[in-house]
Structure 1
């Protein structure tokens, strides 16, 4: 039995947001040390939530994106009736607030979002300047505590098996995460990643490509242009990516969910920004180098370049990123 409140958190639907959500979970534990915190999130999130020591349990959110599924939400909500003292809804849409309401949870916290008066009865205020600062926005929902960067636990047994199976050693490879689910305006071009990979391979530092099955077209092209890279995109589970990133010497990445995972396992991160800004969603670690051209048209926060040229990423030279890598790993060469 918990000696603090039982809290149901309706979690985010994106990998990076789920990692940043740990800023809320750790703050809740500071405010309520005995709290039992459960997180409702999509199936992919279960293994990630399991790496957060603040969380008691993950609960599946079996709802399709952009679908109301009113009856399913009612059934899930009623199955949770009587179990929680408080709910915190991290998503901004009104559908996400239905399950706590159907569950009869008396205190339902969140930001106003999509006209959720009544569904949310403990309304938090979000200053306009905080709108895109995701981690800080999540943290404020705790109502107290100090801001702590996410820290994911590592399964050393799984890590060792993954390293052995791919002929890698701890600290002996670079991880590249060239994908971004948000859209192409976040992706540094494949030929740039490939040029950087060839530099590393020439210095005898193996390069591992990580990502989801949706990133395979991107990673396949990099592997074609940089023979010898190890393409694991779509071939690993999310928890495998956590453990592999924890063993990497450096992670080179777009602004993506895997970037936040790399930061949360304390691997040096070199993050490339285009349509988004490192002032809003930086990797939450002091072991980072941020590469951003700060063009007049950036950040536009669009999935695709509204001007059609992608200059914020296409004109970002490989040498800038290579220099950032050297600074991140504190050595004169990548190898």
Structure 2
């Protein structure tokens, strides 16, 4: 039995886009022991998934932190093969900390390089699939997600409902469509008989309050769902509308109809959520999301 390490640190959307590669690695190494190196926000979700035998947390020590680097070095040693799905400058340096094992990634001198000079112009899903193919993985099954969708939904939810994801990472305000415009869409959905439902962190509760001020039927789930809890909520949605954030990647992976809003802060050709068959959700883009009119989003509603 070989010891396999998979490196995927974040962010949430990137982590979710790696579900298909995780499934492919598990299928290719069915009899091997697979460890995931990730960061704390994703550990609980990864522990529930069927793809890993162990989870290790990367404390991401500063390069001057010799004690932290020594601890990380111990975590990286002892593996027969490493799949670096993060492929960042940081994770590539781990190749040396790990003792230069067989390595799939972009670390200089690694045995299984993703040798495509245009890799940074590929969508994340194509880039990771090509990386694994170059490392010898030829079968890419759709990831089994029953472990994620089988839980109970909050009691107040009843179909039909539409999920709104008005938030974004706190340091990326430019990725947010104004909450008041989400409120207008929520009112339109409610008038059509579809209950709006807002998801997000507790810090995004003010966004939900602004939406509810325009559509009183809206259900506020901000701060009430972990990443794992989102599975059954998104799986039952008639529609999901949101900014370019992690939950939108999960919604499309679950095959839900989705409208994703992009500013110039991200390139949808490289980072947009995708369906399991490779299809694309509805993508509405504006250089500044403050310039995206409600009418354009309303026209995209099914």
Q: Shorter-chain TM-score category?
A: 0.7 to 0.9
Q: Which residue of 2 aligns with 1:179?
A: 167
CA distance 1:213–1:154, change in 2 (3 Å): same
1:321 counterpart = 2:284: no
CA distance 1:103–1:130, change in 2 (3 Å): closer
**Counterparts of 1:278 and 1:201, CA distance in 2:** 29
Partner of residue 243 from structure 1, selected from 227, 232, 235? 232
**Counterparts of 1:29 and 1:92, CA distance in 2:** 19
Partner of residue 48 from structure 1, selected from 38, 45, 49? 45
Gapped regions of structure 2 (runs ≥ 5): none
Residue range with higher mean Cα deviation, 126-135 or 186-195? 126-135
Q: Deviations over 1:57-92 (max 9, x none)?
A: 32222336x77644223213324533x211122334
**Counterparts of 2:163 and 2:87, CA distance in 1:** 33
Partner of residue 193 from structure 2, selected from 200, 204, 214? 204
Q: Which residue of 1 aligns with 2:102?
A: 107
Q: Which residue of 1 aligns with 2:59?
A: 62
1:269 counterpart = 2:258: yes
1:284 counterpart = 2:274: yes
How much has 1:11 moved relative to structure 2? Answer: 0.6
8 Å CA contact 2:63, 2:69 repeated in 1: no
How much has 1:13 moved relative to structure 2? Answer: 1.6
Secondary structure at the aligned position of 2:213 is classed as: helix
How much has 1:324 moved relative to structure 2? Answer: 2.1
Q: Which residue of 2 aligns with 1:24?
A: 21
1:229 counterpart = 2:218: yes
CA distance 1:111–1:265, change in 2 (3 Å): same
**Normalising by structure 2, what TM-score?**
0.84
**Normalising by structure 1, what TM-score?**
0.76
1:255 counterpart = 2:244: yes
8 Å CA contact 1:259, 1:269 repeated in 2: yes
CA distance 1:151–1:252, change in 2 (3 Å): farther
How much has 1:210 moved relative to structure 2? Answer: 0.8
8 Å CA contact 1:178, 1:254 repeated in 2: yes
Q: Which residue of 2 aligns with 1:332?
A: none
Residue range with higher mean Cα deviation, 238-247 or 177-186? 177-186
How much has 1:17 moved relative to structure 2? Answer: 0.3
**Counterparts of 1:14 and 1:79, CA distance in 2:** 21
Q: How many residue pairs are counted as aligned between the two chains?
A: 295
8 Å CA contact 1:87, 1:105 repeated in 2: no
**Counterparts of 1:43 and 1:153, CA distance in 2:** 23
Secondary structure at the aligned position of 2:4 is classed as: strand
How much has 1:152 moved relative to structure 2? Answer: 3.1
Residue range with higher mean Cα deviation, 219-228 or 190-199? 219-228
